[in-house]
Structure 1
Amino acid sequence: MNEKPRVSNPDRLSGVRYNLYATLLDGFQNMLDARSIWAEYWGNSDIPKLTEDEFVEQQRKDFIDRINRVPFDRIPADRGTAFNEVVDCLILGQKSEKMIIESDRQAGTINAFYNGRNYTFPTSVSREFAAYYKGSVPQVYTHAVLPTIYGDVMLYGYIDELMPASVHDIKTTGKYSAGKFKNHWQHIVYPFCLNQNGNKVADFEYNILLINERRDGASYETFTEYYAYDADADIPRLTRHVESIIEFLEENRGIISDKKIFNLHESNQ
């Protein structure tokens, strides 16, 4: 079920120069933070999977691929998608249209078959998440226009769970430390879009499922990161970040094949 908030100023849509979805802002942040990410994961390794410079270049390539919507096969991303879908189906009490989801009562697990793989989650954990979101609307589409020095930018995305007074994003991860998602942008983009459309919501939560893979099976822990949207502080930060993305887009325009990001379509390219 997708619910689309009204657009606060439809007349501005014709002047939009760029279209950016929320998690693309996270991808750009990852590229900017590539060296610190490498240090966190491989800085103490004698034989890192990639050298620091190779990792920086890989992050840049990944971001370009993301802009161009190049298909990728990544287990962590698919696992997160599968868990989101399990939770949404439990909330709505309906079957999935995206994947096969089956409950194994004897094992106490829920299996989600997605992109050729099976992802298993404890029924208790899945129900814990679903119960927490009682009364929410899953997968709510939101969008709004952000003015910048380079022109208007359409920001958009899907909110995992929208509660009457808060926004929630579900994360699955194999490694967690406090504040892991502090530099992400969903906790600014989604409240910004909602507020621009007259939905005064400031509270945001990342609800995190840590999956510890072990030879004898996985263990699970849950964490929450809380953020409060402050328009006076957050909109200037958001604007600067988006303007930096635009500068990157223009510098690399020649290798960007998906022109929708420039608000161009086949008829006007």
Structure 2
Amino acid sequence: MNYQRQQQMQKPQPKYQFYATLLDGFEGYINSSRTYQEYWGFSENPSKTEEEFEQEQYQGLIDRINRVPFESEAADRGTAFNEVIDCIIENRISTTMEIKSFKESGVIAVHYKQHVFNFPFDICVEVAKYLKDALTQQFTDGIIETKYGPVRLYGYIDQLLPFKIVDIKTTSKYSAFKYQNNWQHKVYPFCLKQNGVDIDEFEYVITDFKNTWSEHYRFIPEKDVVELTSHVERFIEFLELNREKITDTKIFCLDAIEVVE
């Protein structure tokens, strides 16, 4: 038997596989009480109780695990804006949506799904210029060891620069360090390092289409791998407690290895 093939067969196969933003979804669920207090804690007549909000977050996470189709204008807007930036950086025409530039009116119009989004021309150019020459939509994955066995982590990096990973965020309202509890700035550097790419710097580029902001994070393996491992293990425990509700078995590596987010 070929030695390399034998080594591959002997290598432990992952029992779970999680894409980076799914870990964000789990983060949102376990912090649902904090989020509720932030938005409704001081309201005399909240539109929902804390228990109702937590149940919504729970069901939303289960649906996300099961890849239940859903419509989100905010998510579609973010996808459309990201495609505009990628097209400008790569000087290409989109193959997934219709994009037209109207310099005289200062907008870039995007027809995507059932929506038409009008993005400020100057914001699009500003962000694309800032990310000039970046590699876009770069897939990465890696294996993290946990007490429950090896787990595959994966995802698509929005923009990859020589010394920095960048993720674009669109929002209707921004507050400082809004994305500090996200896991992309830990998952992506971790995965890249496993593939021989040593990049510790991570930046979220954020816009509300009026202004732009940046959040910078540095991957510190000694600290971040420990935190990432703990979060992954908590998610595994959640999955096993709710296994009877999970219909999409890709997350348990029972189907083909997932290669798209």
Same fold (TM over 0.5): yes
Residue 11 of structure 1 and its aligned partner are, at CA, apart by 6.2
Provide Cα deviations, 1:51-97, integer angstroms capped at 9, x if missing partner. Answer: 21111110010000000001111111111111101100110111111
| Cα distance per residue 1:100-141 (max 9 Å; x no partner) | 111112211001111200111101100111001112100000
Amino acid paired to 2:237: E
Runs of 4+, deviation exceeding 4 Å: 9-14
1:10 Cα deviation from its structure 2 partner: 6.0
Aligned residue for 1:80, secondary structure, equals: helix
Q: Provide the C-alpha distance between the structure 2 equivalents of 1:84 and 1:43, rounded to a whole number of angstroms.
A: 34
TM-score by length of 2: 0.92
**Which one-letter code corresponds to 1:106 in the other structure?**
E
Partner Cα separation in structure 2 for residue 57 and residue 152 of structure 1: 30
User: 2:216 matched to which residue of 1?
Assistant: 226
Matched, 1:27 2:22: no
Instruction: Please state if 1:120 is matched with 2:118.
Output: yes
- 1:38 aligned residue (36, 39, 56): 36
Residue 133 of structure 1: aligned partner: 131
Partners of 1:87 and 1:145 lie apart in 2 by: 30
**Residue 183 (structure 2) aligns with:** 185
Is 1:251 the counterpart of 2:241? The answer is yes
User: For 2:95, what is the secondary structure of its paired residue?
Assistant: coil
Q: Which runs of 5+ in 1 are unaligned?
A: 1-8, 212-219
2:249 maps to amino acid: K
**Structure 1 position 167, deviation (Å):** 0.2
Q: CA RMSD in A?
A: 1.5
Structure 1-normalised TM-score? Answer: 0.90
1:261 aligned to 2:251?
A: yes
Secondary structure of the residue aligned to 1:170 is: strand
Going from structure 1 to structure 2, the CA distance change for 1:176 and 1:75 (only over 3 Å counts) comes to same
Letter in 2 for 1:161: Q
One-letter amino acid of the structure 2 residue matched with residue 256 of structure 1: I
Unaligned runs of 5+ in 2: 1-6, 257-261
Note if contact 1:172-1:209 (Cα within 8 Å) is conserved in structure 2. yes
> Who is 1:6 aligned against?
none
> How many residues matched?
250
C-alpha change, 1:79 and 1:10, in structure 2 (3 Å) is farther
- Does residue 1:208 correspond to 2:198, yes or no? no
Deviation at 1:49, TM superposition (A): 3.0
Q: Name the SS for the 1:15 alignment partner.
A: coil
Contact 2:18–2:153 (CA under 8 A) maintained in structure 1: yes
Contact persistence 2:33–2:54 (CA under 8 A): yes
Q: Identity over aligned residues, as a percent?
A: 47
Question: Matched residues in 1 for 2:230 and 2:136: separation?
Answer: 30
C-alpha separation in 2, matches of 1:28 and 1:66: 10
| 2:226 counterpart residue number | 236
